[in-house]
Structure 1
Amino acid sequence: MQKLVFHNAWDKTLSSKDRKRIEKEFEKTKNRHQDLEIIILWLAMNHKGECLVTTLIHNRGNQSFPTDEIELRLVDHQKVIAEHTFTIPFTLEPFTSMPWTFIFSENSLGENSLENALIEWKT
């Protein structure tokens, strides 16, 4: 059975409003058939012009998912608008979902709108 877990840093700082929002999205998406999936929860720009992409990562498979050197890209209307390689400080266990924020630098975004952005594994 799929379970939702929060990294310790998140568990301590997450607002109750955001926690409820994440839990609602988890309930809505936990039973999809894709083993690995990243769902965008919300996007924000910080004071440095970086794009913060808060996601829900699902590992619905029966093997741990190593989270070092994950190549991700933001796509808007089938156009790649940003890509970056990330390392996350945990391994995502089987049948586990966890929220995480990926930060795409200002340089990787260019002048693109993020209105309809999707996040996907770079292949």
Structure 2
Amino acid sequence: MQRLIYESAWDKTIAAQDRKMIEEIFNETLEENGLNVTFPLIRSALNHKGDLLVTCLIHNFGSEPFFIEDTELTYKEDGALIAEMAFTTPQVQLPPQTSMPWTFIFPKALIHKEPAHTGGKLDFK
């Protein structure tokens, strides 16, 4: 059975309202669709430096642990490429059948197109 966990810093600082929203998205996106790892979107935003913040759930439906190590991800909106980057994130170590929220930061220099923050999808390249 899939379970939801939080990285320790998230668990200590997340607002109750955000935790509730994440739990709702978790419950709504539990269908595997034959994929071992999926990234249902929670939200996207630009920070004060113009970097793109993409917050998602990482679902590891597989039977093996999942790590973010030189993992190429793309962020698209309505099929149009907005940003892409290879990530190494030691904090993301997902045991089998586990999900957790995470924010991926795409630096401003790697943004191909101004995001509209609608119709977004994070996926493997």
TM-score by length of 2: 0.90
Q: 93, 103, 106: which is aligned to 1:104?
A: 106
Deviations 1:20-52 (A, max 9, x none): 000001011123332210111011111001111
Identity %: 40
TM-score (norm 1): 0.92
Partner of 1:65: 66
- Displacement of 1:110 in angstroms is 3.9
Partner of 1:78: 79
Residue of structure 1 equivalent to 2:94? 92
Verify the 8 A CA contact 1:67 1:92 in the aligned structure 2: no
Aligned mates of 1:111, 1:54 — CA distance in 2:
18
Q: Runs of at least 4 residues of structure 1 off by over 2 A?
A: 31-34, 76-79, 110-117
| 1:2 counterpart letter in structure 2 | Q
Conserved? CA contact 2:81–2:113, under 8 Å: no
2:4 corresponding residue in structure 1: 4
Q: Please give the alpha-carbon distance, in whole angstroms, between the structure 2 residues aligned to 1:63 and 1:83.
A: 25
Unaligned runs of 5+ in 1: none
The structure whose residues are more often strand, as a share, is 2
Q: How many residues align?
A: 122
- Provide structure 2 residue ranges, at least 5 long, that are not aligned to the other structure: none
- CA-atom RMSD, angstroms? 1.3
Give the Å deviation of 1:118. Answer: 1.3
Residue in structure 1 matched with residue 24 of structure 2 by the alignment:
24
